[in-house]
Amino acid sequence: MATETAKKVQNGDSIKIHYKGTFPDGVVFDSSEGREPIAFTVGEGKVIKGFDAAVLGMKQGEKKSVTIQPADAYGDKNPKLVLPVPKDRLPKDMDPQPGLLLTLQSPDGRVIRAKIDRIENDKIMLDVNHPLAGKTLHFDLELIEVKKADKQ
């Protein structure tokens, strides 16, 4: 029985996995197809909580499909992260339109992706939520490799 457990993914194991992420309507938002599988240590928080949980108990070579709700992915959309910016703060040659994606830099140098949510008179409402916030995500997974954590 112990050898069977040892083959299943547990917290602390390093894994490589191929994935395809889709929305409920089937539209693909990300995939490792044509690329190297992603590699991470399970339970370290380097991937969304639902993805970490989905790989637990999988065996090398196993395929699995999971649906992850927003709470276990990128959270719900936060209305406080839709921020007003005066139109005159944008480059003069820009034609701001709802849905346009912008790359901003915070005062501390971090890069922030924002989407123009709407335009209100002399203000642009910028949505700085993660693009997948509020979305239910579906993943098709294939576990390529498991390296068991060293037991101290």
Same-domain status, 32 and 104: no
Same-domain status, 85 and 22: no
Residue 152 placed within a domain = no
Same-domain status, 70 and 137: yes
pTM of the predicted model as reported, rounded to 2 decimal places: 0.80
Could you list the residue range(s) of the whole structural domain that residue 7 is in? 2-74+132-147
pLDDT at 152: 47
Residue with the larger pLDDT of the pair 22 and 7: 22
pLDDT at 6: 56
pLDDT in tens, 87-136: 888 888 888 899 999 888 888 988 888 999 999 989 999 999 999 999 99
Same-domain status, 22 and 69: yes
Same-domain status, 13 and 45: yes
pLDDT at 119: 93
pLDDT in tens, 49-84: 999 999 999 999 999 999 999 999 999 999 999 999
Inter-residue contact 40 to 46 (CB < 8 Å): yes
Total structural domains in the chain?
A: 2
Instruction: Check whether 24 has a pLDDT greater than 50.
Output: yes
Instruction: Check whether 139 has a pLDDT greater than 70.
Output: yes
Residue 132 to residue 31: CA distance in whole angstroms: 14
Same-domain status, 101 and 139: no
Q: What is the CATH number of the domain that holds 35?
A: 3.10.50.40
Place 10 in a pLDDT band, splitting at 50, 70 and 90. Answer: very high
Same-domain status, 138 and 103: no
Same-domain status, 34 and 49: yes
**Sheet strands (E) in 4-110:** 14-22, 28-31, 38-41, 63-68, 82-86, 101-105
Express as a percent the part of the chain with pLDDT over 70. 95
Beta bridge partners of 40: 15
pLDDT at 151: 60
Mean pLDDT, residues 38-43: 96
Residue 149 to residue 152: CA distance in whole angstroms: 9
Same-domain status, 61 and 12: yes
Q: What is the CATH number of the domain that holds 91?
A: 2.40.10.330
